[in-house]
């Protein structure tokens, strides 16, 4: 198929979509929710749907309808807090879900019509372009396109797509050069000031070469984005390595050979002590290194074994089911009364005609059905109570893992929330620093208490900076925690999702340093797997 034919087909599809959109407004498909449902559980389920919707960018692809869905969701949450009637709360949940469904349908149209600019925007954000003041204007133009489609102005949106796409393309290149390559240059300059040319000449030449390769490639191969990112990341890694090698070389340079040997020996000995392995400082250096590597492998293999064991053997968490005597006795009394009444009716029919016999048989069937229903409802009650008891036991276990100043652990319906107070990131960055490993290790232990739950990592910021930058930074930080947990085999990747809320869900006022500090946080939401 020729390029012109492809363009003609696409134009035809867009015109058809425009015709369909202009002929009818989206119809909300509301599904009523029974008033016997738990409002908190329904709100928690809807919250998960909003997490998925945000990750699918519905808030920017269909901003008007998504905003309506958010308002209905907020009405449901506020109604629960005020103690509104259950029917009112559930109606708002149903309305929000219907509006979210409508937004998903409209987003498919936007994806088709604005495919080029959506991809350009994605790449610009991944490159870090949200730090630039000019990004806000690009985002504003993008939202004008998506709102144009929502307002049935498809032709205008598609005609202006190329202009906004070009803006995002330029921002992407600028972000790669000024942010990634700029940081490379800053690190190399710092290394030069600290004597890199004299103290680490080989590493200096390597870092300079990687910087040159990245800079030239970005300028000459504008559209080879994947290779461009690889070269930029390689240059950044070598620049950081150069700075550390320069400092290490300067530290070693004035030392005597024996001091260097003792220093190296001490590093190996500290690692051996942490691993609780035999002191082998009386052995050759390579033997000590081999011993450490073997010990690390053993620890790694043991951890893999423990993870597999925890994932497959949940017997310890499945405590023997205990009966709730009061509830079961009430149900038993109710059904036994019904059965007794039916038996009395049978007794009165003894010795009568064939019609009476048929009636007796029918009543016998009803008795059997009542007995089965009693057994089934008793089983459901047992399972529900056992699940609640198990969740409370798991909650109590997780609480023991954290000191009050480390994290706040609380229940939210059938979910467990771990609000990390000591999880800190460098300013404006999403890098997990070594001082966070201890608290993340406790998070891992907490998640494993629940075997294979579903986990949502929420990133939150204070209100400093633009909304767009805050949303992007909070998402990156949540994804960094997500990546850490997956890399450490805490859960399969499909069981964890990361979402960033920026400054939209503050805990305290952003007017004070203490309030802003409280609002910069990571929340871990754990939903036990259904039994």
* Helix (H/G/I), strand (E/B), else coil: 406: coil
4 pLDDT higher than 70: no
Task: Determine contact, residues 84/127, Cβ cutoff 8 Å.
Answer: no
pLDDT of res. 408 = 93
- Residue whose token pair is 């929330």: 417
Task: Determine contact, residues 401/445, Cβ cutoff 8 Å.
Answer: yes
25 pLDDT higher than 60: no
pLDDT tens-digit series, residues 305-320: 566 655 655 444 444 4
Question: Could you tell me the two tokens for 346?
Answer: 């049978």
Task: pLDDT band for 21, please (50, 70, 90 cuts).
Answer: very low
Rounded CA separation 245/26 (Å)? 61
pLDDT tens-digit series, residues 475-527: 999 999 999 899 888 899 999 999 999 999 999 999 998 998 899 999 999 99
pLDDT of res. 227 = 87
23 pLDDT higher than 50: no
Judged on CB neighbours under 10 Å (0-12, 13-18, 19+), 228 is buried
pLDDT of res. 88 = 93
Rounded CA separation 176/174 (Å)? 5
pLDDT tens-digit series, residues 335-380: 677 767 766 766 665 555 556 667 667 777 777 777 787 777 777 7
pLDDT tens-digit series, residues 204-213: 999 999 999 9
Rounded CA separation 470/467 (Å)? 5
pLDDT tens-digit series, residues 199-236: 999 999 999 999 999 888 988 886 787 887 788 889 99
441 pLDDT higher than 80: yes
Question: Could you tell me the two tokens for 87?
Answer: 């029917």
pLDDT of res. 298 = 66
- Residue whose token pair is 């509301």: 30
pLDDT of res. 201 = 94
Nearest 5°: phi and psi at 243?
-60, -45
pLDDT of res. 220 = 83
pLDDT tens-digit series, residues 256-295: 989 888 988 898 888 888 877 778 888 888 888 887 787 7
Q: Mention every residue, 6+ apart, whose C-beta is less than 8 A from residue 118.
A: 57, 61, 110, 111
pLDDT of res. 311 = 60
Rounded CA separation 484/302 (Å)? 19
Task: pLDDT band for 15, please (50, 70, 90 cuts).
Answer: very low
Q: In 3D, which of 276, 284, 190 has the Cα closest to residue 241?
A: 190
pLDDT tens-digit series, residues 393-433: 999 999 999 998 999 999 988 899 999 988 888 888 888 88
pLDDT of res. 416 = 94
Q: In 3D, which of 341, 305, 330 has the Cα closest to residue 381?
A: 330
CA 451 to centroid of chain Cα atoms: 18
243 pLDDT higher than 90: yes
Q: Which residue has the higher pLDDT, 19 or 80?
A: 80
Task: pLDDT band for 172, please (50, 70, 90 cuts).
Answer: confident
Q: Which residue has the higher pLDDT, 309 or 469?
A: 469
Q: Mention every residue, 6+ apart, whose C-beta is less than 8 A from residue 515.
A: 462, 506, 507, 508, 509
Domain ranges of the chain: 3-169, 257-312, 325-396, 401-527
- What fold does the segment set 401-527 form as a domain? 60s Ribosomal Protein L30; Chain: A; (3.30.1330)
Residue 429 to residues 238, 461, 469, 480, Cα–Cα distance (Å): 19, 12, 11, 10
* Helix (H/G/I), strand (E/B), else coil: 526: strand
pLDDT of res. 246 = 94
459 pLDDT higher than 80: yes
Residue 499 to residues 216, 358, 423, 479, Cα–Cα distance (Å): 35, 64, 16, 7
Q: Mention every residue, 6+ apart, whose C-beta is less than 8 A from residue 426.
A: 433
pLDDT of res. 307 = 62
Rounded CA separation 410/482 (Å)? 21
Q: In 3D, which of 238, 222, 116 has the Cα closest to residue 183?
A: 238
Q: Which residue has the higher pLDDT, 119 or 437?
A: 119
Instruction: Read off the DSSP letter of residue 129.
Output: G
* Helix (H/G/I), strand (E/B), else coil: 416: strand
Rounded CA separation 328/343 (Å)? 22
pLDDT of res. 353 = 54
22 pLDDT higher than 60: no
pLDDT of res. 118 = 93
Residue 517 to residues 133, 432, 468, 522, Cα–Cα distance (Å): 24, 17, 19, 12
Question: Could you tell me the two tokens for 465?
Answer: 């900076």
14 pLDDT higher than 70: no
pLDDT of res. 375 = 76
pLDDT of res. 119 = 92
As a 3-state breakdown, the chain gives helix, strand, coil percent values, each rounded to 5, of 70, 5, 25
Rounded CA separation 396/417 (Å)? 13
pLDDT tens-digit series, residues 36-65: 889 999 999 999 999 999 998 899 899 999
Rounded CA separation 320/249 (Å)? 62
Judged on CB neighbours under 10 Å (0-12, 13-18, 19+), 92 is buried
pLDDT tens-digit series, residues 383-404: 788 888 888 999 999 999 999 8
Which residues face 524 on adjacent strands? 418, 457
Task: Determine contact, residues 373/510, Cβ cutoff 8 Å.
Answer: no
């Amino acid at each position: 198929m020729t390029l012109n034919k492809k363009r003609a087909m696409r134009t035809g599809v867009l015109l058809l979509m425009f015709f369909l959109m202009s002929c009818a407004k989206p119809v909300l498909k509301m599904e009523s929710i029974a008033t016997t449902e738990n409002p908190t559980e329904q709100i928690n389920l809807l919250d998960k749907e909003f997490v998925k919707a945000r990750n699918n960018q519905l808030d920017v692809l269909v901003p008007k309808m998504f905003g309506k869905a958010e308002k209905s969701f907020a009405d449901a949450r506020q109604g629960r807090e005020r103690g509104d009637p259950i029917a009112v709360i559930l109606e708002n949940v149903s309305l929000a879900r219907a509006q979210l469904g409508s937004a998903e349908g409209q987003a498919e149209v936007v994806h088709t019509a604005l495919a080029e600019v959506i991809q350009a925007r994605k790449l610009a954000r991944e490159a870090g372009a949200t730090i630039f003041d000019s990004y806000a204007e690009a985002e504003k133009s993008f939202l004008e396109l998506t709102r144009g489609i929502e307002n049935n102005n498809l032709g205008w949106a598609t005609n202006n797509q190329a202009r906004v796409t070009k803006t995002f393309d330029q921002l992407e290149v600028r972000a790669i050069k000024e942010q990634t390559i700029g940081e490379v240059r800053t690190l190399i300059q710092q290394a030069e000031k600290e004597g890199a040319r004299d103290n680490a000449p080989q590493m200096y030449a390597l870092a300079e070469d990687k910087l040159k390769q990245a800079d030239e490639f970005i300028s000459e191969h504008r559209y080879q984005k994947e290779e461009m990112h690889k070269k930029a990341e390689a240059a950044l890694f070598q620049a950081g390595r150069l700075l550390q090698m320069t400092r290490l070389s300067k530290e070693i340079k004035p030392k005597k050979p024996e001091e260097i040997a003792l220093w190296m020996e001490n590093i190996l000995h500290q690692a051996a002590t942490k691993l609780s392995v035999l002191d082998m400082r009386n052995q050759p250096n390579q033997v000590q290194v081999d011993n450490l590597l073997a010990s690390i492998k053993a620890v790694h293999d043991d951890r893999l074994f423990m993870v597999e064991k925890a994932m497959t053997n949940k017997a310890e968490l499945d405590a023997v089911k205990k009966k709730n005597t009061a509830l079961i006795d009430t149900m038993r009394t109710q059904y036994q009364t019904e059965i007794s009444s039916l038996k009395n009716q049978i007794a009165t029919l003894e010795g009568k005609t064939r019609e009476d016999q048929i009636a007796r048989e029918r009543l016998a069937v009803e008795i059997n059905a009542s007995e089965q229903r009693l057994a089934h409802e008793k089983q459901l009650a047992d399972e529900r109570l056992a699940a609640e008891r198990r969740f409370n036991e798991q909650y109590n276990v997780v609480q023991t893992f954290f000191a009050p100043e480390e994290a706040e652990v609380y229940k939210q319906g059938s979910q467990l929330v771990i609000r990390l107070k000591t999880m800190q990131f460098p300013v404006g960055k999403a890098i997990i620093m070594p001082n966070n490993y201890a608290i993340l290790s406790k998070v891992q232990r907490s998640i494993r208490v629940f075997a294979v739950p579903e986990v949502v990592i929420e990133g939150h910021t204070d209100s400093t900076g633009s909304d767009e930058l805050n949303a992007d930074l909070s998402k990156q930080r949540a994804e960094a925690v997500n990546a850490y947990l997956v890399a450490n085999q805490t859960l399969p990747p499909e069981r964890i999702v990361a979402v960033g809320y920026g400054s939209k869900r503050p805990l305290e006022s952003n007017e004070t340093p203490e309030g802003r500090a409280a609002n910069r946080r990571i929340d871990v939401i754990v939903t036990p797997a259904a039994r």
